Amino acid sequence: MAEFVVNAIVLKQNGRELYCFGMNSARLRRICYVTPRSEDNPEEIQRILVPRRAREIGEYLKQANALLPNAIVVNLTEHVKIHGTGASEVKALHFPDEEGKFAYILDGQHRLAGFDYSGGIQFDLPVVAIYAADDGLRGKIFADINSKQVPVSDVQLLALYYQIKDLSANDAPVMDVVMRLSSDPDSPLKGRIKTKDTDKKSWVKNVALKQWLAPLVTSGGALGTRTVAEQVIIMKAYLGAIAQLWPNAWGDVSRFNLCRPLGLEIMFGLFSQVKQRCDLNCGKQYTNENFRVQMQPLVSAKINLTGGEGFAIDWQRGTWGILSNRGTRTIVIRQLRDILQRADEE
């Protein structure tokens, strides 16, 4: 038996002691265990491990600056003996062996399992332990941890990764465009892109706009060879032309869909076709006026959906409510592209 001892800081909460210590991930994996809730073990509390999540964490661990600062929460079994050290705030945890079922994981099983896919990377992890908790307390801790946590929004995460310069080489330039469109004084989308959870007057999330812009501004896209500054200038001209073509609809999100996500998705989906018309008819001059002239055929056109009557491109929410369906939006984008294509052929 290879007993080992860990000194732990003692915290007291509601009459119970919590033991806080650090342990290398490899050793921790050897003494931790989980019995997931199943038909064979209906009284257990943990979820079944999802290998995909563990693999994703393993890939993250391979990154040079990867950290896992959140504590693994465990329930120590009675095989572990606890002794004083002479200091009231520190106690010694005596584990009977280097390997065995001595710590039931209440929170963090996927983080710990991620080291199975880390390519051999191991490092110290913070641990918070309770001792010999009964089923009721174990279940409450598990339920409280998993029900009280509020995940960070996709908007906040994207803004944070951009702020700390931790986006990929492909994503970072796209976000440069998004942020410029959000902040430039002459941008039609100034102040209208949600980059913080507290933004109340936004029309569209940064996540959605990044998704629509990426095919246009990255390699192989309509503006893929342009600098970020050029892409921003062109997009501002394009958006300004849209605002001029439908002045009543632009900005009125209570009555019109043009500036709501579904309307903006459609218009960004048309950009390549409109740009192509500028290439053919305007000598590749991407000005507000040129964009407006090349989109003019859309103003008087109608959309025809299977089984229904045609309706004008006026963006009224009642008429265009059907566009809440992504498949329908794809059909509409295709029809609008066809309208512009026919205008080139006339």
The token pair that represents 290 in the structure block: 């040129």
Asked if residue 99 is part of any domain, the answer here is yes
Asked if residue 53 is part of any domain, the answer here is yes
Give the mean model confidence (pLDDT) for residues 160-186: 92
> Angle between the 154-163 and 206-217 helix axes, to the nearest 10 degrees?
60
Enclosing domain of residue 79: 4-148
Asked if residue 62 is part of any domain, the answer here is yes
Q: Do residues 286 and 166 share a domain?
A: yes
Give the ranges where the chain is alpha helix by DSSP (H).
25-31, 51-61, 109-113, 135-148, 154-163, 171-183, 206-217, 228-245, 261-269, 271-281, 288-295, 317-320, 326-345
Give the mean model confidence (pLDDT) for residues 238-261: 94
The predicted pLDDT at position 231 comes to 97
Residues 6+ apart with CB under 8 A from 9: 19, 20, 21, 89, 90
Residue 200 near residue 193, CB atoms below 8 Å: no
> Which of 115, 148, 181 is the last residue in one of the domains?
148
The predicted pLDDT at position 34 comes to 86
The token pair that represents 61 in the structure block: 């661990």
Q: What's the total number of domains in the chain?
A: 2
Helix (H) or strand (E) holding 81: strand 81-84
The token pair that represents 191 in the structure block: 């102040």
Q: Do residues 44 and 125 share a domain?
A: yes
> Which of 125, 148, 171 is the last residue in one of the domains?
148
Q: Given a cut of 60, is residue 298 above it in pLDDT?
A: yes
Tokens 């009459």 -> residue: 15
The token pair that represents 340 in the structure block: 């512009």
Asked if residue 222 is part of any domain, the answer here is yes
Asked if residue 326 is part of any domain, the answer here is no
In this prediction, residue 215 has a pLDDT band, given cuts at 50, 70 and 90, of: very high
The predicted pLDDT at position 165 comes to 87
| Lowest mean pLDDT across 33-47, 118-132, 193-207 | 33-47
Q: CB-based burial of residue 254 (10 Å sphere; 0-12 exposed, 13-18 middle, 19+ buried)?
A: exposed
Q: Do residues 124 and 177 share a domain?
A: no
What pTM, to 2 d.p., does this model score?
Answer: 0.74
Q: Do residues 69 and 173 share a domain?
A: no
The predicted pLDDT at position 56 comes to 93
- Residue 137 or residue 6, greater confidence: 6
3-state secondary structure of 135: helix
The token pair that represents 294 in the structure block: 């090349």
For residue range 73-93, list pLDDT tens digits in order: 999 999 999 998 877 899 999
> Which of 273, 296, 319 is the last residue in one of the domains?
296
Cα distance between residue 207 and residue 107, in whole Å? 29
Give the mean model confidence (pLDDT) for residues 123-136: 91
Give the mean model confidence (pLDDT) for residues 139-155: 78
Name the nearest CA neighbour of 17 among 95, 76, 63, 100.
Answer: 76
The predicted pLDDT at position 306 comes to 66
CA atoms within 13 Å, Cβ hemisphere of 282: 17
Q: Do residues 126 and 29 share a domain?
A: yes
Q: Do residues 169 and 218 share a domain?
A: yes
Q: Do residues 139 and 161 share a domain?
A: no
Length of the chain: 346
> For the chain, what is the mean pLDDT?
89
Asked if residue 332 is part of any domain, the answer here is no
